[in-house]
Structure formats: structure tokens, C-alpha cells
Amino acid sequence: MGFWGESIAGRHPAGLAAGDAIPVGVLRGEGVGPEVVGAASEVLVAVCEAAGRNLRLDVGPDPASPSGGLTDEVNEFCRRTFAGGGAIFTGPHGGRWVYEVRKSFDLFCKISPLVPSPEIAPDAAPSWPDRLRGVDVLVVREQAAGVYQGRWSETDVRREGHVAEHSFSYSAREVRRIMETAVALARERRCQLTVVVKRGGVPSISGLWMAVAKEAAEGSGVELRVDDIDYAVYGLIRDPSAYDVVVAPNLFGDVLADAGGLLLGSRGLCFGASFDAGLAAVYQTNHGSAHDLAGSDRANPGAQILAAAAMLRESFALAPEADAIEGALAATWRAGFRTDDLAEAGCETVGTAAFGEQVAQRVQAALRAGRAEPAPPQR
């Protein structure tokens, strides 16, 4: 299997010449963001030092305005990073920031992998191990249109009181480009594609998605099926092995990727990558800012570490280094280290920073010994 981004028409990893710096724009986020980004950055530094790579981490300004939106300063920081061939590596944050940065840079495609780790204990995930063995799902989410990019207003109507309105749309072009990406991904995997809609509840948009899906899949060899969102969530949790590539509108894709955290054992392991049709990309956790955990050194940095691996592979074509990070994370779990959300009998529970140090030490030792730990199949 190649890179996820290669399935997007016109996109391919930029690659690096020998000695080139790896340009990464870092936005630390809010809540537990600075802690999980700090742990993942330590892992990035470790893998690059051990592999003889020149890493350039450029820390940007706080990502959100007081209202939670995208500031001009951060917008310019992202633009400069992308223009210089770099990627954005960001921690979690709330408000409108994520939606506005996606709109600003047309990051229309988000890919979230759901690959349970066999190192996580049986009681950390439902139906383990039988129903989770071999599960490997990609949730492909359209995110430049739909509900989250719609228009809204609030009015006071004398007869009806307070009224809130929200409208949104999808064009055939917007649906086609995400559907063609999903079909291309499915062809590289098990040739199974599930389109998620709500036929009775959102009939016109569902009809458009189904028609474009049929057109995009025709002659591709990809088996196409359609699930309504309520059944898709149920089916994904009950029988995840029945799913391969799942493509969905903005809101439905968000719900599915988050619900998939149950398969992983923790929301702290959910991550994703957002792409445009050029070289811009943002790598992030899929979980929230968890302000209640901020400063407590209890957050799981696993998703942020996995996002770092995906960034090396997707934006810089550094697959061996990405594999080394994923292998070191799995080795840390095998060695019995856990964060608070995955605590279990017989294992040592450590904080966010200490867990990152464990992964960094393992990836560095393995690469310097010339024997990176085998990475789990995530692609």
C-alpha cells in the first residue's frame, strides 16, 4: 500500500533530498495540547537524531482567537509552512479553529485510521479479541463543505420566540473529489467501500452522494455499499471487520471516527490527517482538548505520536522513520507502560511526559542498533 495522499488526484509526497531539513510547523493547541504535543515532539526529535535527519520544528502562535476562530497570524503561519514544503503538526483545540483552517486551505479530505493494537488489554476495548483481530478501517471524511461549513443565524421572532437557523449544501464537484479519493484508497486495500448517508432524513444530499459514488466506483472493481449513519455506527462497533474504507459527509465522518475510538480502547489513540489537492496537510489528534486534564500529566499522547508518524510518512516520504515510531509505541505498550486511560493490573501507569520518553528511548535505541521494532499494519 502506498501513501494515503497518493489517492488524491494530483497529490504526492514531496520527499526530501539528502541533508534537507524536515520543516514542521507546530501549533501546541489548548487544554492538554501542549503536553501531548511536547511528548510527541520528543519522539520526533529522537527518531530524526537516530536516523541522521535534520528536523526543523517551528513553533507557531496560539492557534485560536478569543472567540475560538482562526487568527490572521496563525493563518499566515500555516501559509508560510505550506509554501516552504512543510506540514502543520497541531494539538487539540476547540471553537471554530479547525473548521476555519480547513476552509482557508481547502483541506477537503480527512483520513482517520482505526487499527486496534494487540498490545492493549482485552478489557480496554469491546469484544476483544475475536471481533477486533485484523480490523483495519479508514474513515474518509469530506470537510470543506456540509454542516460544519454551512451558514447559520439567530433571530427573535415575536410570535415564536428565539429561532436558530442553519443551512448547508454539497455540490457534485465537492462530493466527486472525496468519492474518487475513497475509491482509489479502496482499490489499494480490499476493494470495499461503504458510503454513509441518511436517506430518509437528508434525502437530496444523500441522493447526490449515492449517485456520485456509483459513478466513481463504476469499472473500478470496488464493491460499493450504502449505510445510513445510525446503522453505520452500530455496524462499525458490532462488526468492524465488515468495513474497509468508509466515506462520509463532514458531520457523519466526524461521528464515525470518534465512535471508532471504542475499537482502539481510548479516544486518546484517535488521530487523523487532513489534505488538500496539493501539498498542504495538517496532522492532529481527533480527541478534544480535555481541559479537565490540562496540567495534570495524565493525558495519553498516543494519538499525537501516531499523528507524528503519519506526518513523516505522508508529507515527507519517510516511511522507515514512521514505521520506527509506530513500532516503538507498540514496544512501549508491550513493556507494560500505560497512561491513566489504559491502566490495567500488572502494568506501570506513567504520566504523559514519561510515556513519551519511553517511546523516544525505544525508537532511538532500535534505530541506532539497526533494528527498528516492526510496525503494526496501519496502511
Positions marked catalytic: 148, 198, 230, 254, 258
Range of the domain at 247: 126-142+170-264
**Structural domain includes residue 121:** no
pLDDT of residue 331: 97
DSSP string computed for 79-110:
HHHHHTT-EEEE----TTHHHHHHHHTT--EE
* Domain endpoint, select from 236, 264, 292: 264
Could you say which of 264, 280, 314 is where a domain stops? 264
One domain for residues 226 and 287:
no
Sign of CA dihedral 53, 58, 62, 68: negative
CATH number at residue 105: 3.40.718.10
The reported pTM is 0.93
Is 148 a domain residue? no
Q: pLDDT value at position 142?
A: 98
Reading the chain (379 residues) residue by residue, the pLDDT tens digits are 468 988 998 787 667 777 789 999 999 999 999 999 999 999 999 999 999 999 999 999 976 666 678 899 999 999 999 999 999 999 998 889 999 999 999 999 999 999 999 888 655 455 556 778 889 999 999 999 999 999 999 887 766 788 889 999 999 999 999 999 999 999 999 999 999 999 999 999 999 999 999 999 999 999 999 999 999 999 999 999 999 999 999 999 999 999 999 999 899 999 999 999 999 999 999 998 999 999 999 999 999 999 999 999 999 999 999 999 999 999 999 999 999 999 988 999 999 999 999 999 999 998 988 755 545 544 4
User: Is the CB of residue 194 less than 8 Å from the CB of residue 245?
Assistant: yes
Q: If you ran DSSP here, which 8-state letter would residue 333 be given?
A: H
**CATH classification at residue 215:** 3.40.50.2300
Q: Are residues 235 and 269 in the same domain?
A: no
User: Is residue 164 in a domain?
Assistant: no
On whether both 232 and 353 belong to a single domain, the answer is no
Query: DSSP letters of 119-149?
Result: TS-GGGSTTTTTTTTT--EEEEEE-SSSGGG
Residue 178 is placed in which grid cell?
472525496
